[in-house]
Chain A
Amino acid sequence: NAGVTQTPKFQVLKTGQSMTLQCAQDMNHNSMYWYRQDPGMGLRLIYYSASEGTTDKGEVPNGYNVSRLNKREFSLRLESAAPSQTSVYFCASKTGTFYGYTFGSGTRLTVV
């Protein structure tokens, strides 16, 4: 039982390049989330998908797009990376309103 799996774990991009961060969960959870964590701060919500087929903006969505590919997978795309997007990205999932969230191990992204 792997839980929430994120790939890649590390990535360096040049300004203007694009990339997709992948997230998959094997717990049959309905809702999935993307967060970013900047130094000295807590996590901030970028986008979420409350259920398969829906996506919504979180607190800091600018510069990102998401796709809920199926119930298991939720990807985050940076179309034109900027240095301000240097961060650690976490994916999370949960099954319902009164249940806890499970987090992946994170992707450390550096944009130079």
Chain B
Amino acid sequence: GIQVEQSPPDLILQEGANSTLRCNFSDSVNNLQWFHQNPWGQLINLFYIPSGTKQNGRLSATTVATERYSLLYISSSQTTDSGVYFCAVEMLGGGADGLTFGKGTHLIIQP
């Protein structure tokens, strides 16, 4: 099956800092999503981004499908950004076969 690798595994930053999270995947994809899992365990959908660039407030994401990677940018970090960020992909041609998740980046924003 498709492999998804996220880096870094852990990241500790001061409030106000910027960060870049990376997701590499091993095969062509239909679907790539970024999720934020907050400290209460809720999975929040940040971006549906199989290719191209999107922005939502302080967050933006870029997927370069031909090179099989995606980046999530967080600017001016706030303590509420803390949690685990997951990248998940659905293999091209996989139809409705489900997402494969990376192991996540654990982000801690210190005040």
Total cross-chain contacts (CB, 8 A)? 64
Residues of A contacting B35 in the complex (Cβ-Cβ under 8 angstroms): 103
Contacts known (A42-B102, A43-B101); A31 close to B41, Cβ less than 8 A = no
- What 4 new A-B contacts, CB under 8 Å, besides A42-B88, A45-B98? A50-B95, A92-B99, A97-B95, A106-B43
Q: What would be 8 A-B contacts, judged by CB atoms less than 8 Å apart? A: A42-B104, A43-B101, A56-B97, A58-B98, A59-B1, A97-B30, A97-B31, A101-B45
Residues of chain B touching chain A, judged by Cβ–Cβ distance below 8 Å, are: 1, 4, 30-31, 33, 35, 41-43, 45, 48, 50, 86, 88, 95-104
By a beta-carbon cutoff of 8 Å, the part of chain A in contact with chain B is: 30-31, 33, 35, 40-45, 48, 50-51, 56, 58-59, 88, 90, 92, 94, 97-103, 105-106, 108
